[in-house]
Amino acid sequence: MFTGIIEAQGELVGVRHEGTNVHLDVRAPFTPELQVDQSVAHDGVCLTVVALNEDVYTVTAIEETLAKTHLGSCKIGHVFNLERCAVVGDRIDGHIVQGHVDTTGSLASVDERDGSWVLTVEHPVGPEWMTVPKGSIALSGISLTVVDSAPGRFTVAIIPYTWEHTNLHRTPLGAPMNLEFDVMGKYVARLLDAQLKARGVGGA
């Protein structure tokens, strides 16, 4: 489990293909503290550390992960938002993030507001891919609060600290962004859909 509070940024320094899998080598400041088998979220994608080499660690993305996230399109030099898994007993300063990306969206606009930024993100429309104003969304692994919401689109406001200490300031318009919708909202949507189908009303 993660909280969506980004701990560090890491640079992709190696990409190796093996069958349908892709091995990613990441240089990060906390690498010396890692152990093999630990989980690290990369732009919101939970991956397991499989090897360590000084300040570089390796994770492996399987075909399913590559299909649902932007990892397959990441090139050497890409900077990841990184978060190690939460420790039991710590404060959860963001929200409950599983590291299981639902889909990718794209950055539609960036509006600078004299010291803050408002980002608009567009995404596929789905029964469980919903946001609500003041609700939570994990965008590239970052726990953020939704400002405005519409089917297939939402906006978030970014404070200077988040802008400077994540990869958001490096993200160009149109770039893919990993999205994990609020887990409680997804369960509610699934339950309501099942009830509607049971009543013959319809549903997704």
Residues 38-63 have pLDDT tens digits of 999 999 999 999 999 999 999 999 99
Fold for 8-84, please state it.
Elongation Factor Tu (Ef-tu); domain 3 (2.40.30)
8-84 matches 103-194 in fold? yes
pLDDT band at residue 128 under the 50/70/90 scheme: confident
pLDDT for 189 beyond 80: no
CA 71 to chain CA centroid, Å, is 11
- In terms of Cα–Cα distance, which of 143, 40, 122, 24 is closest to 73? 24
Between CA 64 and CA 68, with CA 67 as vertex, the angle to 5 degrees is 90
Flag whether pLDDT at 194 surpasses 80.
no
Domain edges within the chain: 8-84, 103-194
Cα separation of 22 and 14, whole Å?
Answer: 10
> Higher confidence at residue 194 or residue 84?
84
Is 60 exceeded by the pLDDT of residue 203?
Answer: no
- 101: amino acid identity, one letter: V
To the nearest whole number, what is the mean pLDDT of the chain? 93
DSSP state of 2: B
pLDDT tens per residue, range 116-126: 999 999 999 98
Letter for the amino acid at 129? Answer: W
Give the C-alpha separation, 112 to 89, whole Å: 37
Class assignment of domain 103-194?
mainly beta
Residue 164 has pLDDT above 90, yes or no: yes
Compute the distance between CA of residue 4 and CA of residue 103 in angstroms, rounded to an integer.
16
- For the record, the structure tokens of 26 come out as 């990441």
Query: Which ranges of 29-159 would DSSP assign to H, the alpha helix?
Result: 63-68
Report the pLDDT averaged over residues 132-137.
Answer: 94
